[in-house]
């Protein structure tokens, strides 16, 4: 039986409008997040994954950013159309976020316990004392020793790993239905990274929230995620179950990404690379956005943009190779000379 859908994003488009033109940072994203599941969104820098996550809670810098189309449905309620006041009650309460930079994401002059407690007072109507006690409890829950003492300290007195734990405690204090984690471990060293991921998985089991996990690290995806969306140039190019992604990548871009990982049991002289660079969001090509770098590209790829097509029950891919038109295109190629 399929689990309940908590968050559904439909055709989300976030554009940045400036003198330079329109940058289509997020250009038609669809995904579904189910209760207790983790959806990974992977892609290289600048592919729009962070902007997707910020768009969900409408936290994109605006102007110049603007959500121009689409829906973000939290159990059917559209966050895009909601008033600021209604949305404010959802932020930090039903949907919360953890950011990439634990060093700068906490307010430097407010004790960390208070930074957690204020959301509790606001959303859960707890008294000052109750909120503080709960805040201390949360700090203990994310594995920080002597939480009573730490709660009174300011961020500069804590290490990077501890600050990120505080961010997690803050995000989970109100037991949200959705947690958006935007590269939460990127700025941390590997041992701390593993601890943080462990804590997140553990608390997910306790609270049962859905997690959207933004990362560029395929290793972390394998560790954390149930479903994976691979983003390229503002779009999702492949959607797979995480366990299948590594064995059976569909999109040539995903294949390239996985091919570029170092392999433990093979003797490799050099790592495989994907030739070329990501197209500018101001000026995407007419056809497939990956065509220029794709080893399989045909005429049709350059002429027309592919749709995200259902490959099998659990996977989708945005590539002409898996379409009915592909064989025709190949046939033409042979006849054409």
Partner 1 sequence: MFLFILKRLVQIVPVILGVTLVVFLIMQMVPGDPAVIMAGEGASKETINELREDLGLNRPLHEQYLSYIGNVFQGDLGNSLKNNQPVMDEIMVRLPITMELAFFSIMITIVLGLIAGIISAVRPYSFSDISVMVVALIGISLPSFWLGLLLMYVFSVKLQWLPVAGWDSTAHIILPAITLGAGGAAIVARMTRSSMLEVVGQDYIRTAKAKGLKGHVIIYKHALRNALIPVITVVGLQFGSLLGGTVLVESVFAINGIGRMIVDSIRTRDIPMVQGGVLVASLVFVFVNLLVDVMYRVFNKRIDLN
181 alpha carbon, distance to own chain's centre: 7
Binding piece for partner 1, criterion CB under 8 A, among 105-113, 232-240, 258-266, 285-293: 105-113
Task: State yes or no: residue 105 binds partner 1 (CB under 8 A).
Answer: yes
Residue 88 makes contact with partner 1 by CB under 8 A: yes
Q: Which residue from 277, 274, 275 is spatially nearest to 233, judged by alpha carbons?
A: 277
C-alpha to C-alpha distance for 197 and 144, rounded to whole angstroms = 15
Closer CB to partner 1, 111 or 143, in the complex: 111
What is the closest distance, in whole angstroms, from the C-beta atom of residue 8 to partner 1 in the complex? Answer: 20
**What DSSP designation does 261 have?**
S
Q: How far is CA 9 from the centre of its chain?
A: 12
Cα–Cα distance between 221 and 231 in angstroms, integer? 13
Output the smallest distance, CB 118 to partner 1, in A.
Answer: 7
Q: State the minimum distance, in angstroms, from the CB of residue 88 to partner 1.
A: 5
CA quadruple 93, 187, 147, 154: dihedral sign? negative
Closest CA to 208 of 10, 71, 34, 83: 34
**Would you say 89 or 332 has its CB closer to partner 1?**
89
| Closest distance to partner 1 from the beta carbon of 167 (Å) | 8
Q: Which residues 6+ apart lie within 8 Å of 292 measured at CB?
A: 276, 279, 285
Task: Provide, rounded to whole angstroms, the least separation between the CB of residue 97 and partner 1.
Answer: 4
Among 1, 109, 264, 273, binds partner 1 (CB under 8 A): 109
Instruction: Write the binding mask 278 to 307 for partner 1: x where contact by CB under 8 A, - elsewhere.
Output: ------------------------------
Residue 59 binds partner 1 (CB under 8 A): yes
Q: Kindly state the number of chain residues that form the binding site for partner 1, as judged by CB under 8 A.
A: 27
* DSSP code of residue 290: T
Instruction: Report the distance separating Cα 216 and Cα 42, nearest Å.
Output: 5
Q: Should residue 108 be labelled a site residue for partner 1 when binding is judged by CB under 8 A?
A: yes
Among 82, 122, 194, 309, binds partner 1 (CB under 8 A): 122
Nearest partner of 173 among 97, 83, 87, judged by Cα:
97
Interface with partner 1 in residues 133-162 (CB under 8 A): 154, 156
Which of 29, 8, 12, 35 shows the shortest CA–CA distance to 226?
35
| Residue ranges in contact with partner 1 by CB under 8 A | 57, 59, 88-93, 96-97, 99, 101, 104-110, 118-119, 122-123, 154, 156, 167, 170
């Amino acid at each position: 039986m399929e689990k309940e859908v908590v968050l559904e994003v439909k055709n989300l488009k976030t554009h940045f409008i400036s003198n330079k033109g329109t940058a289509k940072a997020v250009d038609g994203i669809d995904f579904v997040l189910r209760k207790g599941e983790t959806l990974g969104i992977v892609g290289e820098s600048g592919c729009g994954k962070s902007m997707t996550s910020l768009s969900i809670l409408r936290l994109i810098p605006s102007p110049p950013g603007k959500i121009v189309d689409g829906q973000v449905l939290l159990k059917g309620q559209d966050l895009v159309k909601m008033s600021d006041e209604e949305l404010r009650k959802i932020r930090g309460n039903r949907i919360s976020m953890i950011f990439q930079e634990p060093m700068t994401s906490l307010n430097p002059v407010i004790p960390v316990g208070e930074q957690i407690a204020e959301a509790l007072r606001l959303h859960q109507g707890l008294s000052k004392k109750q909120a503080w006690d709960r805040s201390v409890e949360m700090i203990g829950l994310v594995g920080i020793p002597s939480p009573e003492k730490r709660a009174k300290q300011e961020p500069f007195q804590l290490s990077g790993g501890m600050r990120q734990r505080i961010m997690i405690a803050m995000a989970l204090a109100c037991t949200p239905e959705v947690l958006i984690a935007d590269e939460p471990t990127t700025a941390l060293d590997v041992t701390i990274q593993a601890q943080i991921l462990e804590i997140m998985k553990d608390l997910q089991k306790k609270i049962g929230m859905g997690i959207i996990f933004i990362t560029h690290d395929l290793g972390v995806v394998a560790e954390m995620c149930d479903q994976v969306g691979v983003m390229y140039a503002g779009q999702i190019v492949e959607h797979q179950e995480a366990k299948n992604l590594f064995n059976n990548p569909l999109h040539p871009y995903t294949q390239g990404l996985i091919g570029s990982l170092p392999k433990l049991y093979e003797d490799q002289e050099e790592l495989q690379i994907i030739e070329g660079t990501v197209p500018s969001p101001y000026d995407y090509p007419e056809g497939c956005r990956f065509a220029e770098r794709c080893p399989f590209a045909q005429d049709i790829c350059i002429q027309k943009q592919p749709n995200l097509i259902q490959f099998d029950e659990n996977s989708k891919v945005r590539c002409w190779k898996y379409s009915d038109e592909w064989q025709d295109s190949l046939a033409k190629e042979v006849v054409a000379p």
